[in-house]
């Protein structure tokens, strides 16, 4: 069984002890262990600040942008290898495409942004401002890289996209990164980072990897550092309160729970192209990556006189979703990332059921193709119904991170708008 390694100060090193066991999400078989025990987190930060940061700051925006493009082209050559590893996370090929090629797309996109900057190590921000009548005293703002490191604590659902969308930004800006992927799918992040390091495209210190606990790294951040977090709101809030982050005023960028919604217009009737698009999109949003997407539709608002027709259409569409081993040609939805994710999903669905009833799917049973429901982290799509969305709160506050969505009626367009706002900061309203 593989033991994941950490890339620290220019070396691949193993954490001490057995570490956390990681499992194939489809078969339940153990595939790796991960540990950062024994890692000197101060050494990790110092290497990024003292080696990686100066090397990146010496490069111009254009040089850093071309570096991103070269890296994307290199990683493209290894996509077949990454797809094989990604399948162990329970992802179908379409799911993996979003994660892998979407991640490379972030490198390409940020590379092209170099053209918006000068071929310099700094960027002039706006015009010069005279401070005296004789024009002998003036000021000019310039943008330069921070002298610290970006610490990225990432989510389990998109281990490659999540890593590269963040790193592409800080590398173009001239800052090194320390990546702490979610441990449950860290084996995929490690596979990609190994190819990044092997390419020699990045300067030493520009990227380090921690497969396991983040330890006390956040207790050691300083004013020139940046921290990003993707995950649950409760965990993010806890990390944001880390004394070193507060005392040093360290920027903390958090992407957490999102109760996204989709609204069917009052003028849309069954059989219309918009109706078909609506049903197709809801099904896709519920089942792509087994619903493990921060932009997934969690709340479905439809005119109250269409609630039965929409329910029938969605149930029919969801019933056609084949679930099971992503390697099977007929499978359209794979598993969750792991058993702990399945347990957490069940816990959150039970909360939702306090205000809703399930009209499709089950927490307990799922029909599978070429897979074992006891061993793999599989669940069925679940469609819930809440008939009084204006008088309930849980459905607007609890996100079940999986193939789960709640159907709700609205009376007027104004009420639909009010309901959408109850999601408080949702990423997407369609």
Question: Which position among 165, 285, 294, 355 bears the catalytic label?
Answer: 294
Question: Which position among 63, 255, 344, 387 bears the catalytic label?
Answer: 255
Question: Do 327 and 369 touch, CB atoms closer than 8 A?
Answer: no
255 among known catalytic residues: yes
Task: Give the start-end residues of each E strand in 271-401.
Answer: 299-303, 357-360, 382-385
CA–CA dist 376, 337 (Å, integer): 9
Edge-to-edge strands, sheet with 357-360: 261-263, 299-303, 404-410, 382-385, 357-360
Question: Phi-psi category of 13—alpha, beta or left, where left has phi over 0 and alpha has psi -120 to 50?
Answer: beta
List the alpha helices (DSSP H) in 223-272: 233-240, 243-247
Question: What's the Cα-to-Cα distance from 51 to each of 7, 61, 148, 362, rounded to whole Å?
Answer: 14, 18, 11, 53
Q: In the chain, how many H helices and how many E strands?
A: 14, 17
CA–CA dist 109, 196 (Å, integer): 18
Task: Give the start-end residues of each E strand in 256-322.
Answer: 261-263, 299-303
Catalytic machinery residues: 255, 294
């Amino acid at each position: 069984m593989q033991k994941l390694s950490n890339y620290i100060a220019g070396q691949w090193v193993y954490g001490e002890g057995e570490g956390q066991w990681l499992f194939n999400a489809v078969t339940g078989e153990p595939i790796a262990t991960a540990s950062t025990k024994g890692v000197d987190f101060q050494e990790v930060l110092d290497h990024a600040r003292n080696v990686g940061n100066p090397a990146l700051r010496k490069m111009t925006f254009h040089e850093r942008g071309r570096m991103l493009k070269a890296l994307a082209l290199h990683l493209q050559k290894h996509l077949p290898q990454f797809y094989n590893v990604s399948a162990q996370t329970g992802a179908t090929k379409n799911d993996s495409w979003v994660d892998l090629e979407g991640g490379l797309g972030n490198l390409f996109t940020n590379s092209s942004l170099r053209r918006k900057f000068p071929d310099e190590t700094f960027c002039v921000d706006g015009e010069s401002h005279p401070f005296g009548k004789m024009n002998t005293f003036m000021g000019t703002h310039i943008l330069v890289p921070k002298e610290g490191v970006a610490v990225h604590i990432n989510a389990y659902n998109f281990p490659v996209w999540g890593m590269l969308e963040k790193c592409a930004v800080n590398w173009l800006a001239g800052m090194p990164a320390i990546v702490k992927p979610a441990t449950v799918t860290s084996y995929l992040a490690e596979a990609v980072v190994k190819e990044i390091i092997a390419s020699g495209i990045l300067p030493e210190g520009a990227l380090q990897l921690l497969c396991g606990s983040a330890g006390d790294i956040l207790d050691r951040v300083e004013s020139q550092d940046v921290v990003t977090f993707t995950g649950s709101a409760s965990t993010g809030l806890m990390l944001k309160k880390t004394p070193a982050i507060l005392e040093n005023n360290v920027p903390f960028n958090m992407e957490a729970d999102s109760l996204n919604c989709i609204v069917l217009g009052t003028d849309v009737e069954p059989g219309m192209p918009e109706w078909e698009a609506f049903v197709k999109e809801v099904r896709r949003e519920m089942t792509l990556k087994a619903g493990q997407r921060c932009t997934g539709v969690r709340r479905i608002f439809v005119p109250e006189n269409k609630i039965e027709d929409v329910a029938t259409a969605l149930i029919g569409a969801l019933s056609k979703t084949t679930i099971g081993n992503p390697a099977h040609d007929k499978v359209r939805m794979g598993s969750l990332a792991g058993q702990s994710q399945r347990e957490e999903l069940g816990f959150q669905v039970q909360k939702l059921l306090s205000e809703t009833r399930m009209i499709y799917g089950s927490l307990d049973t799922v029909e599978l193709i070429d897979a074992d429901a006891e061993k793999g982290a599989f669940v069925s799509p679940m469609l819930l119904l809440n008939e009084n969305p204006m008088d309930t709160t849980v459905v607007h506050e609890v996100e079940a991170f999986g193939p789960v969505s709640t159907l709700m009626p609205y009376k007027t367009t104004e009420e639909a708008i009010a309901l959408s706002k109850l999601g408080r900061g949702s990423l997407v309203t369609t």
